[in-house]
Chains A and B, each alone.
Chain A
Amino acid sequence: MKILVPIKRVVDYNVKVRPKSDETGVDLNNVKMAMNPFCEIAVEEAVRLKEAGKAEEIIAVTIGASSSQEQLRTALALGADRAILVETEVEAEPLGISKLLKSIVDKESPDLIILGKQAIDGDNNQTGQMLGALTGFSQATFASEVNLEGDSLSVTREIDGGLQTLDINLPAIVTTDLRLNEPRYASLPNIMKAKSKPLDVIPAADLGVDISPRLETIKVTLPAEREAGVIVETVDELIDKLKNEAKVIS
């Protein structure tokens, strides 16, 4: 069993981003970067499968600039065996990213691909599903539980209103939701060890895939602000306001 874990370098989730003053994009100057939280969950799940003796090899892969090597090293410190950077300065869209990932899938022939359900920058929630279409693999998105027994994969998914369980054939694509697991922190010895694990860099251009963007960002702005209202002193005053001013209860 070989597991491929595509990950993404994004703005740290604690950072409140702002548009650039010329509104051409988000201001990323001097902003702390990190592995996308849903990707951390994906790495963790792969590592747990390996620790349980159900997988032999974990390959972390990312598409991005050279700086993304930092997040690949994090994945290696968390337990991935080797890493691949598909290097490009183009800010590829999920469609382009999934095409590049398809090339990596063709080379590596993984049995299972685990990735985050969405990246917290673009919030697209597309890449796993698109990779499913391009590879023809089965998919189970928004996983909260993954059970792998031999060739049989059972996944519980977070759906609107509850949970759904699917049995899917391998090779398969699983995207992670929040409750799948709680990712570990990398230990110092593992961070040191990660430095000597293999990390291949492949120029995106070598993969012969068209990743030119199809969406043009016209502008990035702040959302309409909501004005703060009033502080009421008592429950009685609150009920009075809701009844007589806002008229939302009777």
Chain B
Amino acid sequence: MTALVVAEHNNQELKPVTLNTVTAALGLDQEVHVLIAGNACSAVAEEAAKVSGVAKVLLVESGAYENFLAENIATLVSNISGDYDYILAPTTTNGKNVMPRVAALQDVSQISDISAIESSDTFQRPIYAGNCIATVKSKDSKKIITVRNTAFDAAAASGGSAEIITLEEINDAGISKFVKEEIAESDRPELTAADVIISGGRGMQNGDNFSILEGIADKLGAAIGASRAAVDSGFVPNDYQVGQTGKIVAPDLYIAVGISGAIQHLAGMKDSKVIVAINKDEDAPIFQVADYGLVADLFEAMPELESKI
């Protein structure tokens, strides 16, 4: 029994979420292979070969795979899926984009965003924005799975010495073309990889006020996030969004500022180790999940916090 992990990378380095997916794959008691599909990405394959527990790395390099276009990658994964009992990818925008296409090509019902493995065919996954947890058993012989990275520890990035095998399986459907990518440049850590996150909500009142969070984020080495309400109000871009329809995070410290704590936001951050809530409404639901709550006007509390931290 063998599992294939479809790696997340940017042709230069392996994204840390891949390591959590490797752990999930190892949790299925499988031989684990990692697919590195991209262009000029052999360094990523070498990085993946060092990941503890990985038995084999498959490397495919082509311009057709450079930007991870769903049509091309899904056909590739489907074509090489024959030997695998499990195919897993992290629940990232890439994983979500590609894996259902693989699943339909293989006539398999995908199991999305698993948060726990109960047995070789039974998994837990959140439904209804995390309000309920469904335990589902797959009857398909092949299992196609996306993995909630916060629910699995990262595999060790070193210690392995997997064999790297180069594949010549090139598929270019020629029906979609990459034009450009605008990745927000930031010195701060990525939301899904940060140890500390400070998020603002509707209580921030406008986008300019998010600068109040920046000083503290700099001091703590934190990423800055936002609630859906703040994104919907146009304060900050969508990639700041923490929640069921945004990013799922579980840092060591999560500071929620001016966030009421709607269900869909809590679904995205309630696995954080320590949660701090700062809100002037003492009845805000966020206080029901916070380890430490401070009922205060954020425009007074945040400058004080910044100066004293």
Interface residues of B in 117-151 (CB under 8 A from A): 122, 126-140
Binds A, one of B33-41, B56-64, B106-114: B106-114
Choice from B105, B231, B290, B308 contacting A239 with Cβ under 8 Å: B308
| Chain B residues closer than 8 Å to A150, beta-carbon distance | none
In angstroms, Cα B98 to Cα A22, docked, is: 36
Residues in B whose Cβ lies below 8 Å from that of A162 = 181-184, 237, 239
- Contact check, A164 vs B178: say whether CB atoms are below 8 A apart: yes
With contact pairs A124-B112, A129-B97, A160-B92 given, residues A214 and B133 touching in the complex (Cβ less than 8 Å) = no
Asked whether, in the complex, the Cβ of A223 is within 8 Å of the Cβ of B133, the reply is yes
B232: A residues at CB distance < 8 A: 178
**Residue A139 lies at the interface, judged by CB distance under 8 Å to chain B:** yes
Candidates B69, B101, B196, B289; contact of A226 at CB < 8 Å: B289
Q: Is the CB of B175 within 8 A of A93?
A: no
Q: How many A-B residue pairs have CB under 8 A?
A: 256
Q: Which A residues are in CB contact (< 8 Å) with B179?
A: 154, 165-167
In the complex, which residues 234-250 of chain A have their Cβ closer than 8 Å to any Cβ of chain B? Answer: 234-236, 238-239, 241-242, 246, 248-249
Q: Are B244 and A133 in contact (CB under 8 A)?
A: no
The proximity string for A residues 96-123 relative to B, scoring 1 for CB distances below 8 Å and 0 otherwise, is: 0010000000000000000000101111
Residue with the highest number of chain B CB atoms closer than 10 Å, among A18, A98, A120, A126: A126
Q: Give the residues in chain A near B282, CB-CB below 8 Å.
A: 231
For A219, list chain B residues within 8 Å (CB): 134-135
B53 within 8 A of A: no
Partner-binding segment picked from A58-66, A140-148, A184-192, A193-201: A140-148
Name the contact of B287 in the complex, choosing from A26, A137, A228, A246 (C-beta under 8 A): A228
Contact B291 A229 (CB under 8 A): yes
Tell me whether B181 and A163 are in contact (CB under 8 A): yes
> B132 touching A179 by the CB < 8 A rule?
no
Q: Is the CB of A178 within 8 A of B228?
A: yes
Report the Cα distance A123→B96, complex, angstroms.
Answer: 11
Q: Is B74 an interface residue (CB 8 A)?
A: yes
Contacts A130-B100, A130-B101, A139-B101 known; A166 to B176 CB distance under 8 Å? yes
Choice from B270, B273, B305 contacting A248 with Cβ under 8 Å: B273
On whether the beta carbons of B140 and A214 are closer than 8 Å, the reply is: yes
User: Closest residue to B246 on the A side, CB-wise?
Assistant: A178
Contacts of A136 in B (CB 8 A): 173
> Which residues of chain A are within 8 angstroms of B288 by Cβ–Cβ distance?
226, 228
CB–CB B274/A218 < 8 A = no
A187 to chain B, nearest CB (A): 23
| A130-B103, A229-B290, A235-B301 as given contacts; A222 in contact with B132, CB under 8 Å | yes
Judge if A177 is at the interface, Cβ distance under 8 Å.
yes
Q: Which of B74, B111, B180, B305 contacts A235 (CB 8 A)?
A: B305
- Residues of chain A within 8 A of B126, CB atoms compared: 123, 223
What is the CB-to-nearest-CB distance from B76 to chain A, in angstroms, rounded to a whole number?
13
> Per DSSP, are chain A's interface residues mostly helix, strand or loop, or mixed?
mixed
Report yes or no: B305 in contact with A239, Cβ–Cβ below 8 A. Answer: yes
**CB of A246 to closest CB in B, whole Å:** 5
A181 within 8 A of B: no
* Choice from A94, A133, A161 contacting B183 with Cβ under 8 Å: A161
A129 with B70: CB separation less than 8 A: yes
Q: How far is the CA of A248 from the CA of B220 in the complex (A)?
A: 10
A11: Cβ under 8 A from any B Cβ: yes
Q: Is A88 an interface residue (CB 8 A)?
A: no
A residues in contact with B228, CB < 8 Å: 178
Residues of B within 8 A of A138 (CB): 71, 173, 175-176
Contact status B135-A223, CB under 8 Å: no
Kindly provide the distance from the CB of B123 to the nearest chain A CB, expressed in whole angstroms.
9
Chain B residues contacting A26 (CB-CB under 8 Å) are 127-128, 132
Query: Contact at B294–A242, with CB atoms within 8 Å?
Result: no
- If A133-B74, A215-B139 touch, does A168 touch B176 (CB 8 Å cutoff)? yes
Interface flag for B252 (CB, 8 Å): yes
- Complex formed: what's the CA distance from A72 to B97 in Å? 27
Flag whether B190 is at the interface (Cβ < 8 A). Answer: yes
A159 to B126, alpha carbons, bound, how many Å?
Answer: 21
**Which A residues lie within 8 Å of B134 (CB)?**
217, 219-220
- Quick check: B308 and A236 within 8 Å, CB to CB? yes
- Contacts known (A19-B132, A162-B183, A228-B289); A134 close to B127, Cβ less than 8 A: no
Structural contact, A121 and B127, CB atoms closer than 8 A? yes
Contacts A144-B238, A214-B139, A215-B136 given; does A133 touch B287 at CB 8 Å: no
Q: Does B253 contact A (CB under 8 A)?
A: yes
- List the 9 closest pairs (A to B, CB-CB), nearest first: A133-B104, A229-B291, A214-B109, A129-B100, A130-B104, A126-B100, A162-B183, A138-B175, A165-B179
